[in-house]
Structure formats: structure tokens, C-alpha cells
A and B are shown apart, each in its own frame.
Chain A
Amino acid sequence: MHVKRYFPYMILLAAPALILLMAALSILYGVKEIDMMTIRNAIFQFDPTNVDHQIIMSSRLPRAMGTMLIGCALAVSGALMQGITRNYLASPGIMGISDGSILAVTLSMILLPEASDLQRIIFSFAGSALGAGIVFGLGSILPNGLSPVRLAILGTIIGTFLSSFASALAIYFQISQDIGFWYHARLHQLQPEQVRLAIPFVIVGMLAALRIARSVTVLSLGEEVAVSLGQRTTVVKVLAAAAVMLLTGSAVALAGKIAFVGLIIPHIVRFLVGADYKWVIPCSGVLGAIFLALSDIVSRFLNYPFETPVGVITSLIGVPFFLYLARKKGGNKYA
């Protein structure tokens, strides 16, 4: 416990350097070899006629930034959900939020094929709110519905339902491969404009998350404790839900469904820094960004020179971790 007090500072102080390193690696490694000097020149002395500069500015830089933005958003929204529901399995991927978002984006592709990126992102928000609303709404009115196993099953069922509805629509309108490529986490398709659009939403979500961090710590001790300490729990929950919606919605709008980041990062962070959400939330953001950037770099080499969806990598890491959680905490005591 004593050492843990310094961990948050260490993580947050090292964050800028780590993030720069990840960005540099992410820009450096790709199918086309580009050396460091070119990268520096592209950023500081951009030459539109140089193909390498074009690749860096229009593809690799947005990809590096977008990846970290997504990792950060998913991990923070996972941390918020786990804190609020006191459920160790709560996370954006499992809880039907991504699937809701996918359904909404599928609908938007069918109804408004010419929609702008901003409209697409707003659809994604609406969809993630829909998914989260259904799962948590049902969870809170069901007997013992917010317990880990119940909520995981509810999320899986609703998620299956929403995504099978989405893919039925996609099949009916013959856009399944477009959507398949779109929503299965193909980070290399990140568009610079989309990333730029998502940044303000993620920042607002992050600020909201940090603002309520202390209240989440209190709430994670239990509803009764929070109420007896004079906390207005409903306000905190509504703010948390709004933050989760903004963060997950932006992430899914950018790159589709990326499972497990939001599940495992908060666990690792709580292991490192303890259960104070004042630290858990920012550290989750940092580690989430780094984790997804690393996964993305690995995904480029798994099947070189072809890309592997990053969701496959995060699942390969996430599944054993989930199994570990089920083994450690899955007993009836927690169900």
C-alpha cells in the first residue's frame, strides 16, 4: 500500500514521454518504411508534393492519435462503469453499448448514406445511449440485475440482439461488407477529419469523468455509504452515464467495436494505484491509450504485410484476463 501511493504520480509523470514514444513507434512502423528524418520533416516542414509526407500526415499521424484517443476513451468509460455499478465485469464491450452504437451507425448508413462524419458520430452516441439504456435500465429493475453474472448475461444477450439486428439490416441492404470492415476495428481507416471531430467529445467526456471521480470513489463503496455521506447519487450516476456515452460513442464512431480494453485496463490500474478513482480515472486513460497503441502496432505485424483488426489482438489478451477474473472472483459470493 505504501509504494502504491507513488504509482499514480509515476504513471502520470511518465505519461507524456510514453505517449510520445508510442506515437513515434506507431508512425515509424508500417508497410512502407519511412525514416525518422522524413517524419520530422513531415511534421515540421510539410511538403505536399512528397508522398512520404502525405502518408505520414494523412494516414499515420491520425492513426496514432486516433488509436490513443480510442484507448483512452474506452478505458476511462470502463473505469467509470465498474466504479458506479460495483461490477467487476462492467465494460463498454460487454454491456451492449458498442452494439447499440453499431446498430445506430448501420441505420445511419442505410437512411442517410451521404451523412457527414459529425452526423455519423452523433448517431453513434445515440446508439451507445440506447444500448447502455436498455442494459442498465433492465439491470436496475431486475431482481439483483446489476450483479456481475446477471449483468454480463444481460449485456451479452442485448448485445447479440442489437448486433444481429444490425447485421440483418446490413444483409438486407447489401452493405454487410462495408459495415463489416467499418465496425470491426480497422484503425488504419481512421480519417484525419473524424479524429479531429472526436477530440472535443472525448475531452468533454474526460473532464466530466475527472470531475465526478471523487464521487465515484464514494459510490464504489456502496449506495448506502454514498447516501449517508450526503451524496446526490442520482446526479453522479447521470453524469457518469453521460460521460460513458460520450467516450464510448466517440470510440465506436471512430473504429467500431474494440473489446476488452475497457474491461481489463481499469483492473490493472486498480491493482497498481488502488481504488481511489481520483487516480484510477486518469491512469486508466493513460494506460488505455498506451495499451491500444501497442496492440495496434502488433496488429500490423501479425500477418505482415496485411493488417489484422486490432480487436483480434485485444481479444487474445483480454480473454485470458477475463478467465482469470472469472476464476478469481466468479464464485457465488460475488454473483
Chain B
Amino acid sequence: MLRYSQERFVGIMLTALGLIVAAIYISLSYGVFDLTFAEVVKTLFSQGNGEYDVLIYQFRLPRIVIAGLVGAGLGVAGAVLQGVSRNGLADPGILGINAGAGLAIVVFMFFYQGKLAGSDWFSILAMPFFGLIGGLAASILVYLLSWKNGRLDSQRFLLTGIALGSGFAALSLYITLKMDPTDFHTATVWSVGSLFHANWQYSISILPWFLFLLPIIFWKAHILDLFQLEESSVKSLGVSVGREQVILLLCSTGLVSACVSVSGSIGFVGLIVPHLAKSLTGIRHQQMIPLCAMLGMLLVIVADFIAKNIFAPAEVATGTIISLIGVPYFIYLLFRSKA
């Protein structure tokens, strides 16, 4: 049985990988300016002297890389949050983590007016860092406020998140309205969740968070299985529930904040990807979480491709496309889940 499920898991992962590669290829070759297969391959392997270098290396590839990273981060973070809170409706967006990270980044943008477009390394590396502080502050606050009788109350976790999220959004609004028009436009575009400004520096700036936090989450994944049991039985197994919850929460917040710092608040990925993964591999987190990373990647790359091309040459925010896909699926989930 175990062997069978292991084989099935490998099969699913390989299929997902295949789909991701296909999505990347389509995304690289198709656009306002179409490339043939030979041209794409030649450019990718020609070490920077083909005729489409700028198009591929400066515009299309960084965007795909960011889309992939953001998708993976949000998918994994969503799975962790749903596991920790034992609530299938938890999502970084609903829990106010996006809004907290967003607020910190808007504050940062405000104090660095006009220097946003600059490529200076300090501001590029500082963005995810500010996002992290904001996201952490938000999730710590939500976590503390939803503590009840010495344990995490899952209903209150969501309600507190919704409340604080709207508070952070109000403060962000207060700050964006004080910006000058150019920065305001940047902040608005960014806050809907867009990959329009993707570049290599962004991908490098969030990479450390992924390299550091993803392994910890993979390593701790089996503990999430235990969280699905009754609290008392988990304790009797010798797991210090509070401490593990905090560690996992911190890791997922770190991922979300890094993602928000480069792509704005892209909702629904963290909500729907874990459900999809669960229906494919079952509830074992050690299999489910890596699959979440893959599916998140696939979802955001595809959504970004649609966002870029459906109304070309104008662009719709990637977050909007994901909402359009995500809302019906979410409502379907609500119908299926028991009251």
C-alpha cells in the first residue's frame, strides 16, 4: 500500500513537473512577439548572443521565475496555515498576513519615494525584509489574539485575521493617498497582485527566504499530520504543540511576506492549492506540501500568462486572474465541506 502510494506520488510530481515545463515554454515563446521553438532553445543555450536575448532574459524569464517562486511559496504557506489552524479556509490573505506585509512595504515605499525604480541593492533587498517584519507582526498579533484557554481557537483565528487585515488595509490606504501620483500608481498596481515589475533582482532578493524556510517546513511537515489529531493525543505523543505551531507559523509567514514584497497581495493561491494537492495525494503532509509547491508554481505561471496575454497589449493583474479561477473553486469547496 505504502509502495503504491509512493509510486503514485512520484507519478503525480512528474506530471506536475511536465506541466510546469510546458507552461514555461508556452510563456517564453508566446506573447506580443511570438518565437519559434528553435528560437527559444537557441536563445536559452546561446549564452547571451542570440537576437532575442533581451526579450527572453530581461522580460519573459524573470517574470516566469518570480511567478514560479511566488506560487510555490504561497501554496506551501497556505498548506501550513491550514494545517496549523486545522481550518480548510485559512489562507494568508484571509488571515491578514498579506495585508500586514503590504502595510510594511507601503510604509517603505513611502519613505523611499521616487527611488523605487532605482536598481540600488539596498532598496531591493530591503523590500522583502520590511515585508517580513510586517507579515510577522501581523501573524503574531493574530496568533496572540486568537489564543483561548491555552490553545489556538480556529474560528477566532480566522475572524481576528479578517479584522486585522481590514485594519492594515485602511492604514495602507492612508499612506498611499499621501503618495505622489506615480508612486500611488505603482502601489495600486502592486497591491492588486501583479508581476509586471518582475526582474532578476527581485528573484534574487526573495531566494534566500525560500532556501532557508522551505527546508524547515519540509522537515517539519510530519508534525502537521499530528496536528490533525485531538490536541490531547498530540501532547501525549510528546510534541510541544505551542512551540511547533509558532515555528511553522513563522516559516509560512516568512514565505508569504517575501512573496508579497515582490508580487503584491496575490490571493487564493494559498487557499485552493492545498485542497487540490490533498485531493491528489491524500492528507499526508510530507507528500502534500512538496506537491503544493509544484501546483502553486503551475497555477501562478499559467495565471500570469493569461494576465499578460488576454487583453494584450494592456495587462490585467495576475491576482485578478487567480481570483477569477479561485472564487468558483472556493465556493465549490464550501459546498462540499461539512457545516
Q: Footprint of B on A, CB under 8 Å? A: 89, 93-94, 138, 142-145, 147-150, 152-154, 156-158, 160-161, 164-165, 167-168, 171-172, 176-177, 180-181, 184, 259, 303, 306, 308-309, 311-312, 315-316, 318-319, 322-323, 325-327, 330-332, 335
Contact = CB atoms under 8 A, between A and B. Distances in A.
Contacts of A165: 320, 323-324
Name B's interface SS.
helix
Contact of A168 (B185, B192, B339): B192
Contacts of A93: 166
B188 A171 contact: yes
Contact of B188 (A142, A172, A180, A306): A180
A242 B338 CA distance: 31
B270 interface: no
B327 A142 contact: no
Contact of A160 (B156, B267, B335): B267
A312 B145 contact: no
Contacts of A184: 173, 177
A161 B334 CA distance: 16
8 nearest A-B residue pairs (beta carbon): A144-B339, A315-B170, A319-B167, A326-B159, A322-B163, A143-B339, A168-B320, A330-B156
B170 A312 contact: yes
Contact of A143 (B170, B185, B335): B335
Contacts of B153: 330-331
B45 interface: no
B135 interface: no
A326 B167 contact: no
A165 B184 CA distance: 19
B83 interface: no
Given A143-B335, A322-B163, 9 more contacts: A142-B335, A143-B338, A149-B158, A152-B159, A158-B327, A164-B192, A172-B316, A176-B185, A184-B173
B297 interface: no
A147 B324 CA distance: 25
Interface residues of B, number: 50
B23 interface: no
B171 interface: yes
B158 A160 contact: no
B162 A332 contact: no
Nearest to A322: B163
B155 A331 contact: yes
A330 to B, nearest CB: 4
A149 B338 contact: no
Nearest to A260: B166
Contact of A311 (B162, B170, B176, B323): B170
A152 B89 CA distance: 12
Interface in B154-204: 155-156, 158-160, 162-164, 166-167, 169-171, 173-174, 176-178, 181, 184-185, 188-189, 192-193
B249 interface: no
Given A149-B159, A153-B162, A309-B174, A160 B323 contact: yes
Most buried by A among B94, B334, B338: B334
B328 to A, nearest CB: 10
Nearest to A321: B163
A308 B178 CA distance: 9
A184 B156 CA distance: 28
A172 B331 CA distance: 27
21 contacts: A138-B331, A145-B334, A149-B158, A152-B158, A156-B162, A160-B93, A161-B327, A164-B267, A177-B181, A177-B188, A306-B178, A309-B174, A311-B170, A312-B171, A315-B167, A319-B167, A322-B166, A323-B160, A327-B145, A331-B155, A332-B155
B193 to A, nearest CB: 8
B319 interface: yes
Interface string B325-339: 001001100110111
Contact of B155 (A306, A309, A330): A330
Given A167-B188, A323-B145, A335-B155, A154 B334 contact: yes
Given A160-B323, A331-B153, A176 B188 contact: yes
Most buried by A among B171, B185, B331: B331
Contacts of A167: 188, 192, 317
A155 B146 CA distance: 21
A224 to B, nearest CB: 18
A111 B54 CA distance: 38
A169 to B, nearest CB: 9
B267 A326 contact: no
B319 A164 contact: yes
A177 B184 contact: yes
B316 A156 contact: no
Contacts of A335: 155
Contacts of B335: 142-143
B314 interface: yes
A171 B318 CA distance: 12
Contacts of B319: 164
A12 B256 CA distance: 49
Nearest to B164: A319
Contacts of A259: 166, 170
A79 B87 CA distance: 30
B121 interface: no
Most buried by B among A153, A177, A181: A153
